[in-house]
Amino acid sequence: GQNIDQPTEMTATEGAIVQINCTYQTSGFNGLFWYQQHAGEAPTFLSYNVLDGLEEKGRFSSFLSRSKGYSYLLLKELQMKDSASYLCASDTGGFKTIFGAGTRLFVKA
Amino acid sequence: GAVVSQHPSRVICKSGTSVKIECRSLDFQATTMFWYRQFPKQSLMLMATSNEGSKATYEQGVEKDKFLINHASLTLSTLTVTSAHPEDSSFYICSARGGASVYEQYFGPGTRLTVT
C-alpha cells in the first residue's frame, strides 16, 4: 500500500527552529519531495532527496533515511511568512508522486 | 523559467453543466502533465497522468468519462469535468514535468471549482 504520515499541525515561534517529520511506505521509491503550500495556492518545490543524509538550502534543510523510510524538513530562523502547509511526497517512479496530507505550520510572534 | 499556468482560477457552474480547465506550460515543453484534486485540509490526490498525444492514465476510482483529459500538445493539457455535481467542487491543480530538472514537477496555480 501507499502510506505517508506527517503531523497534522505544528506551532513554532518566530526566529526559532522547527523540524517536520515524515515517514513513508510506498511501493517504489526514487526520492522524497518537500513542498510548501500556502492556503488557496499551488504547492511550490522546496527539496528533493535521493540519497541518505542532510541537504541544506538556505534556511531550509531536508534529511532522508531510506532504510528507515523517514525524512524531515528543518526550518531555521522562522519567519511569519513560513506559516503554510508543508507536504511530504514520495516519488514512486514512473513519474508518479504520492503526497502526504501535509503539516500546517503556524508561526507566532 | 518553468512556469505553469491554469485557467480559469475560479469557476462557478450549475449542476449538470460541463467545465473545462486549461493547463499550460509557458516556457518549456511538458512531456508529462498531471491532474490533482485537493479537498480542504487534505492531500493532493492524483487523478490522472497524461502524455502528449496519448490517452491519459487514470488513477483507480477516477471516472474517465466524467473527467476528460486531453493533452493535445507539449504545452497544453485540458481537464473537462462533465455533468458536474456539487460533490465535484474542489481545488484542481495541474503540474508538468519536462523542464530543465528531470524530477521536478512544476505546479499550476490551481482552479477552484464550485458547483451549485
Q: Which of A89-103, B8-22, B46-60, B87-101 has the highest mean pLDDT?
A: B8-22
pLDDT at residue A20 in the model: 98
Quick check: B114 and B89 in contact, CB under 8 A? yes
Which residues of chain A make contact with B112, given a CB cutoff of 8 A? 40
* Residues of chain B positioned with their CB less than 8 A from the CB of A30: 103
Q: Does residue A28 surpass a pLDDT of 90?
A: no
| Residue A14: partners with Cβ closer than 8 Å, 6 or more residues away | A78, A79, A80, A107, A108, A109
Look at the block and give the residue holding cell 523510510: A69
Q: Please report residues of A whose CB lies closer than 8 A to that of B45.
A: 99
Residue of A nearest to B42 (CA): A101
Contact B23, B77 (CB under 8 A): yes
pLDDT of residue A108: 96
Phi/psi region, residue A48 (left: phi>0; alpha: psi -120 to 50; beta: rest), is beta
SS3 A43: coil
> What CA–CA distances, in Å, run from A87 to A37, A99, B8, B61, B69?
7, 7, 25, 23, 26
C-alpha cell at B77: 493539457
pLDDT for A96: 80
State the residue for C-alpha cell 513519474: A95
Compare all CA atoms of chain B with the CA of A41 and give the residue at the minimum distance: B109
Which among A28-37, A94-103, B53-62 has the top mean pLDDT?
A28-37
Judge contact between A73 and B29, C-beta under 8 A: no
Mean pLDDT for chain A? Answer: 93
| pLDDT tens per residue, range B73-114 | 889 999 999 999 999 999 999 999 876 666 778 899 999 999
Closest residue in B to A103 (Cα) is B41
Percent of chain A at pLDDT exceeding 70: 97
pLDDT in tens, B7-45: 999 999 999 999 999 999 998 888 889 999 998 878 889
pLDDT of B67 reads 96
Grid coordinates given for B28: 518549456
Count how many pairs of residues, chain A against chain B, have C-beta atoms within 8 Å. Answer: 47
Whether pLDDT at B1 is above 70: no
Angle at A91 between CA A88 and CA A93, to 5 degrees: 165
Q: Please tell me the distance from the alpha carbon of residue A72 to that of residue A20, in angstroms, as a whole number.
A: 5
The predicted structure's pLDDT at residue B100: 63
